[in-house]
Amino acid sequence: MSASIAKNIEPITEHRANVLYQHGTLALLVPGLLEGTTTMGELLAQGDTGIGTGEGLDGEIIVLDGKAWRVGRTGVVEPVPDDFTMPFATMHRAAFQYQCERADIGLEELNRRIVEANGRANTFFAVIVRGTFSFMKTRAVIKQQAPYPTLEEVADRQAIFLGQDVRGTMLGYFSPVMFHGAAVAGFHEHFLADDHSIGGHVLDAVLERGEIHTQVFDTLVQHLPVDNPEYRNHDFTRDNIADAITKAEGDTAK
Amino acid sequence: MSASIAKNIEPITEHRANVLYQHGTLALLVPGLLEGTTTMGELLAQGDTGIGTGEGLDGEIIVLDGKAWRVGRTGVVEPVPDDFTMPFATMHRAAFQYQCERADIGLEELNRRIVEANGRANTFFAVIVRGTFSFMKTRAVIKQQAPYPTLEEVADRQAIFLGQDVRGTMLGYFSPVMFHGAAVAGFHEHFLADDHSIGGHVLDAVLERGEIHTQVFDTLVQHLPVDNPEYRNHDFTRDNIADAITKAEGDTAK
């Protein structure tokens, strides 16, 4: 037995399109462990596609084609610098497969059909919906300061944005129910308009017409902030993690 | 976006001592998804150390120094062939660090002290205890045939083995509470006597004197049997996974 713990030499997701990389878990956010424990630069080494949030729940992040964008409380879409720190993010290397085209369909029904067509409610997968949305409702949480509040306390501290007839990309991740806590069971979806007029965490939407692409993962790589003192010392047994996540993540959490 | 999903070219844990590899989850065993969905050979490519069970809960597996051993209902310790199929296993590359020596201590207190010394109840870690056990109580489940029963139904179909003053190695994995379901929250420990007189899933033990080594992981690589029809079609929302695992995994599950 050797005496030291080896370090990662290269990103663990290198060249692997079957792998979903996650830093932190939603369970960390529930009791307010909102310190940034990775950077956007580190995350971009693990994938070119993803969603997440900044330190203190600073905005809603979406990464498309290797470019990271953030929507904050003002609704303005801004590029994310590499040194931006984050407590939670989900990333992967895009290798989507065409599923189908859909028209005139609400978010809930759309999500139900995506799972059905995929036939895989027990696997992690990513979905991209590109097209025109006749209705889009998103939110962005207002950045919190330490000492951080719980996710439940933050739930009301959010800006809501509404869009109509907006072209753009909705990127979502589906997680199996047995990983509720580590992730949101069901879909967790962020949006970015092509003209950057609206973006954020999707609460509701109606797709006018769009193409659906999905990518199935057989492996979850779950990275934890093991050297963060707040994380190490927190007693998660006192948190009602599952309920808090379902409540805080709004309409899209199933 | 490319049209195909890339395959793993090499083991995802290659040269990484900070990574815990898991195939399947304990949540799969709860409703009786016991078909072997990986092989011992595939698992040995991911690590040289680990625990697991065979198809149909066929015995208790322990892997030490790259060698895999199985204890079945007769209590005999046998080498595991590379084509042996398994529904669940936890593997890693050994790079343990010395923690301390302990004497005259029961399993529950021993486990409590290991977590305390590690200061990391929220991280995955492995523990090896090498020494003499004045008392050792293990179990091995009797292999089940398809259609498979649930984990709860199987709980009584196990052989119990008792040892006294036995030298050997106890290998365990500690999982944070937020991953209960995917793993057993707390410790999951298997044992192998140096003389192979006793082995299996540890239910209780008293360490007379032994050395404790631990290895902390910052990353869980969770591989799921996404192409297994029974897994894909199962409705996990009807299973009371957390309770069933706590009950079935016996004394060591916290």
Distance from CA of A249 to the nearest CA of B (A): 18
ipTM of the complex in this document: 0.89
- Name the range with the highest mean pLDDT among A201-205, B7-11, B116-120, B250-254: A201-205
Look at residue A253 in the predicted model and tell me its pLDDT: 35
Q: Point out which residues pair with A20 in neighbouring strands.
A: A220
CB-based contacts of B156, cutoff 8 Å, min separation 6 = none
Is residue B55 within 8 A of residue B81, CB to CB? The reply is no
Q: What's the pLDDT score for residue B2?
A: 35
Of B127, B131, B98, B133, nearest to B114 by C-alpha is: B127
Residue closest to B94 by CA, chosen among B52, B133, B125: B125
CATH, domain A19-252, list 3.40.1080.10, 1.10.287.3510, 3.30.70.360, 3.30.1330.80: 3.30.1330.80
* Residue A40 pLDDT: 98
Which of A3, A16, A120 comes nearest B8 by C-beta? Answer: A16
Closest residue on chain B to A230 (Cα): B122
Amino acid at A18: N
How close A7 gets to chain B, by Cα (Å)?
7
Task: Give residue B10's pLDDT.
Answer: 66
Q: Which residue has the tokens 């631990």?
A: B214
Q: Which residues of chain A have pLDDT under 50?
A: 1-9, 251-254
Contacts for A148-153 with beta carbons within 8 Å, 24 or more apart? A148/A32, A148/A33, A148/A34, A148/A35, A148/A56, A149/A32, A150/A30, A150/A31, A150/A32, A150/A244, A151/A29, A151/A30, A151/A31, A151/A32, A151/A244, A151/A245, A151/A248, A152/A30, A152/A244, A152/A247, A152/A248, A153/A32
Three-class SS state of B115: helix
Q: Kindly state the average pLDDT of the residues B202-224.
A: 97
Q: A232 to chain B: which residues are within 8 Å by CB? A: 119-123
pLDDT confidence of residue B250 = 54
Q: What is the pLDDT of residue B3?
A: 33
CA dihedral A27, A33, A37, A40 (to 10 degrees): 70
A238 touches chain B (CB under 8 A): no
pLDDT at B221 over 70: yes
Between B132 and A180, the more confident residue is B132
Q: In the structure encoding, which two tokens stand for residue A6, read together?
A: 């080896």
Which tens digit of pLDDT belongs to each residue from A188-228? 999 999 999 999 999 999 999 999 999 999 999 999 999 99
Q: Which phi and psi angles does B158 have, rounded to 5°?
A: -135, 145
Would you state the pLDDT for residue B247?
Answer: 76
Sign of dihedral through CA atoms A5, B93, B46, B14? positive
Domain extents in chain A: 19-252
Mark which residues 43-72 of A lie under 8 Å from B by CB: none
Residue B96 has pLDDT above 80, yes or no: yes
Give residue A10's pLDDT. 66
Angstrom distance (rounded) from CA A95 to CA A17: 6
Structure tokens at B19: 């990574």
Q: Which two tokens stand for residue A62?
A: 């979406």
Using CB atoms, pick whichever of A213, A215, A234 lies closest to residue B122: A234
- pLDDT of A1 reads 34
DSSP labels, B122-158: TS-EEEEEEEEEEEEEEEEEPPP-SSPPPHHHHTTSE
Residues in chain B closer than 8 A to A25 (CB atoms) = 178
Contacts of B215 in chain A (CB under 8 A): 5
Q: Is B223 an 8 Å CB contact of chain A?
A: yes
Q: Is B254 a residue whose pLDDT tops 90?
A: no
Cα of B215 to nearest chain A Cα, Å:
8
Q: Which of residues 157-216 of A touch B (CB under 8 A)?
A: 176-179, 181-182, 213, 215-216
Confirm or reject contact between B90 and chain A (CB < 8 A).
no
Contacts of B14 (CB under 8 A, 6+ apart): none
The confidence score (pLDDT) of residue A24 equals 95
pLDDT in tens, A238-248: 787 777 777 77
Q: Give residue A251's pLDDT.
A: 44
Cβ distance of B177 and A8 shorter than 8 Å:
no
What does each C-alpha distance from A89 to A20, A36, B99, B177 come to in angstroms? 11, 10, 33, 20
Which band of pLDDT confidence, cut at 50, 70 and 90, is reported for residue B1? very low
Partner residue facing B236 (CB), from A1, A8, A177: A177
What pLDDT shows up at residue B5?
A: 34
Q: Answer whether residue B246 shows pLDDT above 90.
A: no
Tokens, residue B132: 């003499």
Residues of chain B contacting A90 with CB distance shorter than 8 Å: none
The residue ranking higher by pLDDT, B20 or B179, is B20
**B139 pLDDT more than 90:** yes
pLDDT score recorded for residue B245: 72
pLDDT digits (tens, 9 = 90+) for B155-196: 788 999 999 999 999 999 999 988 887 887 899 999 999 999
CA distance A95 to chain B (A): 5
A63, with CB counted inside 10 A (0-12, 13-18, 19+), is: buried
Interface of A with B in 139-168 (CB under 8 A): none
Residues of A in contact with B176 (CB under 8 A): 224, 236
